[in-house]
Amino acid sequence: MVLLGLDPGLRNTGWGIVEANGNRLRYIADGVIRSDGRLSLALRLAQLHEGVVAVIASHHPDEAAVEETFVNMNPVSTLKLGQARGAVILAPALAAIPVSEYKPNQIKKAVVGAGHAAKEQVAMMVRMLLPGCLAATADAADALAVAICHAHLRATSQRLAAAVVGRRGAAP
């Protein structure tokens, strides 16, 4: 199962690709899609969307996961981040790729074990969990963390669903 992790941002959107086989993860690729700050908001959003479309075309992920937007003190920044997130999520959605969303603390807890871990701790754990991982930028490391979180929580969700189905099918 090839998983795409996305860390949306208006300036820089991180992306990471991992392969999940049971509880084993394999690093495939990562990078950052940058928008040109001199362009209008609409054109910057188009750049982000086109960048994710290109990543999908190159790596053919089966599923995608994205970090949920956190609300910061500046409402204008929060709104722009939400718009960037929408442009980024649209790419896998239009490609009929299921998209899951995770809270930042949920991602940190899945990767580091603590929901309030520092970015440096997340990046270090990503490199430990994915040997050969480049994660040259914090945005790429965060995107890989989203993919790792999805791989772990996806597997758990599948096991729970199978258990529930098994109970329903069992004789009373």
Q: Map out the domains of the chain with their CATH numbers.
A: 2-169 (3.30.420.10)
Question: How far lies 67's CA from each of 21, 81, 92, 132, 139, in Å?
Answer: 22, 11, 14, 23, 11
Tell me the pLDDT tens digit for each residue of 5-45.
999 999 999 999 999 998 899 999 999 999 999 999 999 99
Question: How far lies 2's CA from each of 26, 27, 135, in Å?
Answer: 9, 10, 17
Quick one: pLDDT at residue 166?
A: 65
Quick one: pLDDT at residue 33?
A: 97
Stretches in the chain below the pLDDT threshold 50:
none
Q: Which residues, 6 or more positions from 76, have their beta carbon under 8 angstroms from its beta carbon?
A: none
Query: What are the residues facing 35 on neighbouring strands?
Result: none
Instruction: Copy the structure tokens of residue 161.
Output: 């669903």
Catalytic residues: 7, 67, 139
Rounded CA-CA distance 32/144 in Å is 11
Query: What are the residues facing 15 on neighbouring strands?
Result: 6, 31
User: Taking the CA of residue 147 as centre, how many other CA atoms within 13 Å lie in the half-sphere pointing to its CB?
Assistant: 37
Quick one: pLDDT at residue 10?
A: 93
Strands 2-7, 63-67: pairing is parallel
Q: Is the pTM of this model over 0.75?
A: yes
Q: At 39, is the secondary structure helix, strand, or coil?
A: coil
Task: Determine phi and psi for 115, rounding to 5 degrees.
Answer: -70, -15
